[in-house]
Structure 1
């Protein structure tokens, strides 16, 4: 009984091992066949497909190649001309005698305003033709070195005292501010989408629309009247996004070179300007009562400017 049982167990074990080995062989063969069919039936084809996959450029390589052969750059003279308007200057948080002169809370000073100066600098533009548009549409970004602009008052604020007398008619002797209040730096990148109706002519006019970020930084109040007590007043400006309208024309030259005349209108934005911590000297009153704490002077500027650019460019 024991020998028969042992023999049967050995026979069953051998049969089971054979079945498992056969099944494993079938699975391996089936898997290999399936993979071969997915690659194109056969080892030779799989090697060919592998070669094609390795030789075909990838997404980034194709993108780099497109940019390399469908972009342009131009650099030249850029002039910013400011045409914006401003609300009257507003005095806020005046204290002591200043409150008597300007009144409590907010008060406007008639026939006054603020603006920024004009400047000329270098400007560069990078353009990329959009795919599937036959070079009729392009995306452009224009950059310039940091621009240092004057922040100025306008109208009566230039040559008339903002507070000639108190409400009781007592002369203050506070002098006019003059034109310049201080300086600011700006780095206004602008992006536009440009349409060229003709791309095979010597003269190629275009029109564009886009946006500009009115980014300002490194402000400084240098006006002597506002700095009479060394109180370090500060200039703060909001940083809105403005709309851009663009007109221009490329004049084609040999060897993929060209010259461009370009005009951009920048608008549709309001910049809030505030000069804080203003303390002024009243020659007739300060010897008795000390400095006059004006507080904050602000204005709302309807930003409008035109960028004129004349530049030399090259197609890549």
Structure 2
């Protein structure tokens, strides 16, 4: 256990999930509106990639017609796999007996960390081809139902007591936490720009890049050690924007249908996790001195995850 007096790092703010999705929608509408004003004499494309609306259709009619002939969707199974790293757990504002165990100020607990669990759910993607690109470029928005993920500790924090003795060597009897601390829900919408080098083949690989808003909510701490006094700690997670790298392949089927295997890497973000108002029981000392007021336990997670998706799709 090492003393840590360095100042706490600041984390970037994030836009709301609705702002991200709304921005994508405005972009799609703007593309469609611009395409609606094109004329055949100024555009060399043909077929479904060209908007065929007449001028009298107006902006709304042109946008609807463009989307009708240049959009696609897919839906299938989505698996979230977390690979991120974590800093050591940091204890701050310990009081009374806890201050004797952890020391004054802040402390880093050696060989500890935190993590997130994995989950499988349904996932859907809506795509729209970008004008004047021959359907080589498309914008995609991927959405999924809320993911319920476990918040976990790792390494020694799983099966070793975080405070086995006070600084004077008196055993506390505080048990290990176990792996699962609680749970949270994640609603991670993401927006990517996708490039397909071949668009008229049966097999169409693609590559993409974009951003994801790491929106989390509905946190719940249900660890029996942390809830021993009925004083449930609160779990707070920061909500940064992460970058997304994407690889996939479409397998064409009859009648504008297709199958897709898609992999997205999510990274370039740090998530701060904080457990506030942590009060635990010392079986050997609490009967005399009361509960142990640990204060705040936090960690910094270098977010890394992969989203695997197998889905069925249809082009309009």
TM-score bin (small chain): 0.7 to 0.9
2:94 aligned with 1:94: yes
Residue 255 of structure 1: how far off its partner (Å): 0.3
TM-score by length of 1: 0.82
Distance between the aligned counterparts of 1:151 and 1:287, measured in 2?
Answer: 30
Q: Paired residue for 2:11?
A: none
1:159-187 deviations in Å (ceiling 9; x for gaps): 00000000000000000000000000010
Q: Paired residue for 2:211?
A: 211
Residue 201 of structure 1: how far off its partner (Å): 0.5
Q: Paired residue for 2:234?
A: 234
Distance between the aligned counterparts of 1:272 and 1:236, measured in 2?
Answer: 8
Distance between the aligned counterparts of 2:312 and 2:280, measured in 1?
Answer: 50
1:249-290 deviations in Å (ceiling 9; x for gaps): 000000000000000000000000000000000001001000
- 3-state SS of paired residue (1:57): helix
Q: Paired residue for 1:282?
A: 282
Residue 56 of structure 1: how far off its partner (Å): 1.2
Root-mean-square deviation over aligned CA pairs = 0.9
Q: Which has the larger radius of gyration?
A: 1
TM-score by length of 2: 0.82
Q: Paired residue for 1:246?
A: 246
**Structure 2: gaps spanning 5 or more residues:** 1-53
**Structure 1: gaps spanning 5 or more residues:** 1-53
1:97-108 equivalence runs, <5 A: 97-108=97-108
Q: Paired residue for 2:142?
A: 142
Q: Paired residue for 1:158?
A: 158
- 3-state SS of paired residue (1:98): helix
- 3-state SS of paired residue (1:254): coil
Q: Paired residue for 2:21?
A: none
Distance between the aligned counterparts of 2:261 and 2:75, measured in 1?
Answer: 11
Q: Which has the higher helix share?
A: 1
Distance between the aligned counterparts of 1:112 and 1:232, measured in 2?
Answer: 22
Distance between the aligned counterparts of 2:105 and 2:274, measured in 1?
Answer: 15
The number of equivalent residue pairs is 263
Distance between the aligned counterparts of 2:209 and 2:196, measured in 1?
Answer: 12
Distance between the aligned counterparts of 1:234 and 1:253, measured in 2?
Answer: 50
Distance between the aligned counterparts of 1:234 and 1:221, measured in 2?
Answer: 7
Distance between the aligned counterparts of 2:69 and 2:296, measured in 1?
Answer: 54
1:211-250 deviations in Å (ceiling 9; x for gaps): 0000000000000000011112100000000000000000
Distance between the aligned counterparts of 2:106 and 2:136, measured in 1?
Answer: 53
Q: Paired residue for 1:259?
A: 259
